[in-house]
Amino acid sequence: MAGDKADVLMIEPLMALVVDGVDRNFALHRYWEAPDRDALIARLAPRLRAIVAGGTTHQKVSADLMRSLPHLELISSFGVGYDHVDVKWAAQHGIVVTNTPDVLTEEVADTALGLLLCTVRQLSQAERYLRAGKWRDGDFPLSKATLRDRTVGIIGLGRIGRAIARRLDGFGVPVVYHGRNPQAGVAYRYYPSLLDMAHDVDTLLVVTPGGAGTRAMINAAVLTALGPRGILINMSRGSTVDDAALIDALRTGQILSAGLDVYAHEPNVPAELLAMDHVTLLPHVGSASVHTRSAMGQLVIDNLVAWAAGRPPLTPVPETPVPGARGR
């Protein structure tokens, strides 16, 4: 009976696998469907201990929401990024936040390489050229860029960053990286200064987490340092890039091009970027295969099931560690 199951609040609609899995194992409450959300929270407050959150930034799990649920213990979030959750407040109040790492690493790394190749070699533009019937009038112009003479600076050499670097090794492309700290066991050169790395490379590939600490880190100074041969690839969060600075740099030729899979106000994309034919734009499809999204969804459920059974959640985020949790 539903009354025997733990109550779980789902903040926004997720794939059917997650909704069905949570509904099968728990008493599911759909926050986004509630005609009066405040009334729903008030009714659940005396007993609700778990939330399922989406991997988007559309619906925040704020301190105010968590504060209104005094028995909250777990937030199981879909996606590797979790900047839609006030994780600092959660950690301070003993609330564990989980995400879905590892299962999407290779898929996102594949997409990053695809976006890089499309941007450098103008493959999307070449396809549009053919579909428009222009090939009959002449060959598509030679691409201005190539991977053959480039060095890629990766911003954020975590799981996904290292998977991208391995792929670039296979392409014979030199890799360096920037992050908060040097990574143990990697041979790539580490730059403590992002600006210094931007001066020394011609391609920046961003896979750092979102949040306040990385907001607008790709700013006018970094783009100026990257220079007129520069290419920016963003696979992280749209918030990591200063949109106005990027648009200006692309418009004036301060950098050569950009390839973007993420945007600050998804699904809205700046009209200035849409109007530029020398950039490559994807609709946040980094992990968007049935195989990988299904694995991510199952991990959301598995974290909830482990917690409900009195076991440590499988993949707590570093800010909210749990003794005995599975090593990541």
Residue of 29, 178, 284, 293 marked active site: 284
H/E stretch holding 296 reads helix 290-308
Tell me: cis bond preceding 267? Omega within 30 of 0 counts. Answer: yes
- Sequence-distant (≥ 6) Cβ neighbours of residue 15 within 8 angstroms: 293, 294, 297
* CA–CA gap between residue 204 and residue 218 (Å, rounded): 9
Task: Tell me whether residue 284 is one of the annotated catalytic residues.
Answer: yes
Decide: 41 and 69 in contact? Cβ < 8 Å.
yes
| Length of the chain, in residues | 328
Task: Tell me whether residue 73 is one of the annotated catalytic residues.
Answer: no
Residue of 159, 162, 237, 293 marked active site: 237
Task: Tell me whether residue 148 is one of the annotated catalytic residues.
Answer: no
Residue of 12, 266, 272, 319 marked active site: 266
* CA–CA gap between residue 305 and residue 307 (Å, rounded): 5
Decide: 28 and 76 in contact? Cβ < 8 Å.
no
Decide: 247 and 269 in contact? Cβ < 8 Å.
no
Which active-site residues does the annotation give?
237, 266, 284
